[in-house]
Structure 1
Amino acid sequence: MPQPPFDPRRRRLLQALGALPAIAPALARSDPLETARTHLYRWPTPANGDALVGRTHVSIVRDGETLHHVARRFDLGYWDILLANPDKDFWLPGDGTPVIVPRRFILPDTPRQGIVINAPELRLYYYGEDGRHVDSHPIGIGRQDWGTPLGTARVTEKIPQPAWYPPASIRAEAAARGERLPREVPPGPDNPLGAYALILDLPGYLIHGTNRPAGVGMRVSHGCVRLYPEDIAALFPQVPRGAPVHLVHQPVKTAWSQGRLWVEAHPLPTDQDYTAKDLRFSERERNAHATRISNEALERGHLVDRNRVAAVLERPTGVPTPVTGYD
């Protein structure tokens, strides 16, 4: 297949990502005590049909951080932080710069059990077995030519310190780039599966860690779902064998909370999307989503604020926004 012209924005992004190993110590800043991190990703499961969890707040860039550092500090991914801060320089936001931290989420419209993966949102949810809490983590998923499948699956096996056996298709892709992949990559820093892997009953698909955390929140994998090393370490011991996995496509989520209808929008990125200005719904998609949102409000006797609905769909931020009632 002929390759499209190389986009200069992609070149700059890849060059910057290539420089990340030099700043790896800073990227790895995470509290070794997992109990000190649970407030970043765990909330009580809402009751009475509510589906809104967490809160959005503002943090300050410090110590030469990039937006990637800020995102990882708050357990967010690439598109999470980028959509919420479209006018900030991703690599040089500047010390002292206020940054929106989008940690409020509408839970996907799925059974509240096991693992839920919402592909457009690039986010995983896990409902604890006791039903009392829900955890949420950013993920990396398959790029367009290696898409992550949708549907229902189950966790069939849990493997700590997994070895990686690159399939023939991936070895062929590497060979086309002039690289040679071994048939087995043992556990360790060069293993792209990281330290833990959850095997699904979808042949060849896993939920795992990564040795390249900069790709979390992007479409960069060969179809598997990758998490930050600290997130897979927290998730792995909780998930039992046999746990259900719901893989869904819900780019626009809605929820009734506090007597108002809230909307959260996440267009699915493509391989050619790099900035917040790139990531948009088509006019046809916007019209369809706007109609659905308006009808949902009407069913409860409410009228939406059409300007707010238009703003949410035309410039998605990934932040839940009320579209009925008044502030």
Structure 2
Amino acid sequence: MISLARRIFFVCSLAVSSLPALAQDLPPLSHRVTGGDTEYTVQRGDSLTAIGARFGVPPRLVAQQNDLHFNTSRIKPGQRLHIQHSHIVPASLDDGILVNLPQSMLFNFSQGTLVSAYPVGLGKPSWPTPQGEFRIVNRQANKPWLVPKSIQEEMRREGKIVQEEVSPGPDNPLGKHWLGLNLWGYGIHGTIAPASVYHFQSHGCIRLHPDDIAEFFDQVRIGTQGRLIYQPVLLAVIEDGRILLEVHRDIYKKGIDPARTVRDLAEANGLSQSIDWPKVDAVIAAQDGLAEEVGHLPGNGSKGQP
């Protein structure tokens, strides 16, 4: 399978703030979109949910993109699927890790260049992943899981066997790679449940697919800086003049109005007259989480897919 890190292409884009879109409040132009179109061969044990998690696409969209019925269609090993998985990069860093929580995507930068991008699993709404700055303070392979008291208490409430420590191996939910953050108790790690990536099911930690964390682990060192942001709405202008919109659920209930956000951003950047507003309404209603074309600047080249 082709790694998302190797399927990055660069185009001009505009990241979106969840704040009212006054010009001085907007983040800088991003210049990047990640993902694209991939032909994927179904492997033994695959499901639409697992494939969607691998690429950062809701499983019902994987079904829709391939004329399958999500609830009744069965996929088979060797079957070829088309996966469209374009995402707007919300902001650029000179160096470090950017995680956009509602987008469920992690972006890694080095010297201003986007090195890699991965779908991630994040904290459930009742146990959200925090926002803010962080740095990597621990880098460890095959780390035992020292179960926090809060999770032990949850195990007790749910009638499960209460564990204080889980040794490395097939039952360790951290997987084989751990990157500890200076935010106490939080880390970026693998998982023994790859289908849980691109979902909000963790106790706040950031999960990557085992193949992705193995690749990412080699890119990161102790002291690497990072930022956890919350931008469910992203608007982009790419180099051929297309205007793209990506909308995600306000998963942590921050009260963000996507329609207001898009309109404020469009007005602040002189895009209002170039946007197809019924298309914007459709993207907002669907909240599919992929970059969709919603307009085109005059005097540019032909239209195409993100």
Matched ranges for 1:158-197 at <5 A? 158-197=139-178
1:76 maps to 2:55 = yes
Alignment match of 2:86 (pick from 100, 104, 110): 104
Alignment match of 2:211 (pick from 226, 230, 243): 230
Task: Tell me the TM-score normalised to structure 2 length.
Answer: 0.78
- Gaps of at least 5 residues in structure 2 are 13-28, 297-301
SS of residue in 2 equivalent to 1:124: strand
- Gaps of at least 5 residues in structure 1 are 1-30, 32-36, 272-280
Given that residues 254 and 262 in structure 1 are in contact (C-alpha distance below 8 angstroms), is that contact kept between their aligned partners in structure 2?
Answer: yes
Matched ranges for 1:30-69 at <5 A? 37-38=2-3, 41-43=6-8, 50-56=31-37, 65-69=46-50
Q: What letter is aligned with 2:182? A: D
Counterpart for residue 28 of structure 1: none
Deviation of 1:290 after TM superposition, in Å, equals 3.5
Q: What letter is aligned with 1:111? A: L
Q: Deviations over 1:245-291 (max 9, x none)?
A: 110111111121022321111114479xxxxxxxxx99x82431332
Deviation of 1:302 after TM superposition, in Å, equals 4.2
Q: What letter is aligned with 1:94? A: R
Q: Percent identity?
A: 30
Deviation of 1:132 after TM superposition, in Å, equals 3.8
Q: What letter is aligned with 2:58? A: D
Counterpart for residue 210 of structure 1: 191
- Judged with a 3 Å threshold, the aligned counterparts in structure 2 of structure 1 residues 311 and 59 are, in CA distance, closer, same or farther, namely farther
Given that residues 66 and 93 in structure 1 are in contact (C-alpha distance below 8 angstroms), is that contact kept between their aligned partners in structure 2?
Answer: no
Structure (1 or 2) with the greater helix fraction? 1
Task: Please give the root-mean-square deviation of Cα atoms over the aligned residues, in Å.
Answer: 3.1
Deviation of 1:38 after TM superposition, in Å, equals 3.6
Matched ranges for 1:298-309 at <5 A? 299=270, 302-309=273-280
Structure with larger RCO (C-alpha < 8 A, sep 6+): 2
- Judged with a 3 Å threshold, the aligned counterparts in structure 2 of structure 1 residues 55 and 296 are, in CA distance, closer, same or farther, namely farther
Q: What letter is aligned with 1:165? A: L
Q: Which moved more, 1:49-58 or 1:257-266?
A: 49-58
Counterpart for residue 115 of structure 1: 97
- Judged with a 3 Å threshold, the aligned counterparts in structure 2 of structure 1 residues 169 and 55 are, in CA distance, closer, same or farther, namely same
SS of residue in 2 equivalent to 1:126: strand
Provide the rounded CA distance (Å) in 2 between the counterparts of 1:248 and 1:94: 37
Alignment match of 2:73 (pick from 93, 97, 100): 93
Q: Which moved more, 1:261-270 or 1:304-313?
A: 261-270
Given that residues 290 and 310 in structure 1 are in contact (C-alpha distance below 8 angstroms), is that contact kept between their aligned partners in structure 2?
Answer: no
Q: What letter is aligned with 1:245? A: G
